[in-house]
Amino acid sequence: MDRKLLEQDVLTVAPLLLGWHLRRTFADGSQATVRIVEVEAYRQNDAASHSYRGKTPRTEVMFGPAGFLYVYFTYGMHYCCNVVTGPVGEGAAVLIRAVEPVAGQEILQAHRHMAGVEITNGPAKLCQALTINRQLNGHNLADAPLELLPGTLQPNEQIMTSPRIGIKQATDKPWRFYIAGNPYVSGPKNPVDKSLS
């Protein structure tokens, strides 16, 4: 994992993370690897961001060094995970919205009690599949049991942007990034989507 890369502005880092891998080592030693296909950027001066109102016990991790995991609990039943970006003291992070299984797919299916794209095509779904919970909040993504590994896009893959999903604030900002055409991408592929290229 290249921490210097992640210390850049969150809007620079978010599209870069598409195509990267997450390798999860479970308690029994088994492993699963997934590929990031959809993210959203959240920065401090952004009304939709948890860090907008400054540092709190919950958001403390977002203000820490880049390359750490920020896990939060929402709607009473779901976890979502973010990769902290930017310099120390700045509350910015990239929300991982969807991933594509690369290895250990049967483990992910077992965790989700189902098969198909539904196992990881949403922020809370992928957390359930990878068993990401509050215990991993503040985890260093350079180390097991959850590692962030650099990856690349295929030559035929294109990055698209759109407004973010599921928020009530700052909905005008096109800070959602995803790989066009990937079946694991969640949410609408609507006409406001724009190609980055």
Contacts to DNA by CB under 7 A: 40, 42, 48-51, 53, 56-59, 62, 72-78, 80, 82, 93, 95, 112, 118, 122-125, 164-169, 186
CB-nearer residue toward DNA: 158 or 169:
169
> Could you give the CA distance from residue 25 to residue 107 in angstroms, rounded to a whole number?
11
DSSP letter, residue 65: -
Cα–Cα nearest to 17, from 164, 190, 159, 169: 159
Region of residue 11 (left: phi > 0; alpha: psi -120 to 50; beta: else): alpha
**Integer angstrom CA distances of residue 122 from 60, 75, 129, 161:** 24, 14, 10, 17
User: In the complex, what is the shortest distance from the CB of residue 65 to DNA, in angstroms, rounded to a whole number?
Assistant: 17
Q: Which residues pair with 105 in a beta bridge?
A: none
Cα–Cα nearest to 19, from 154, 121, 193, 194: 154
User: In the complex, what is the shortest distance from the CB of residue 105 to DNA, in angstroms, rounded to a whole number?
Assistant: 16
User: In the complex, what is the shortest distance from the CB of residue 67 to DNA, in angstroms, rounded to a whole number?
Assistant: 16
CB-nearer residue toward DNA: 32 or 80:
80
CB-nearer residue toward DNA: 159 or 167:
167
CB-nearer residue toward DNA: 74 or 158:
74
Q: What radius of gyration do the chain's Cα atoms show?
A: 15
Q: How many angstroms separate the most distant Cα atoms in the chain?
A: 45
User: In the complex, what is the shortest distance from the CB of residue 82 to DNA, in angstroms, rounded to a whole number?
Assistant: 5
CB-nearer residue toward DNA: 56 or 158:
56
User: In the complex, what is the shortest distance from the CB of residue 101 to DNA, in angstroms, rounded to a whole number?
Assistant: 15
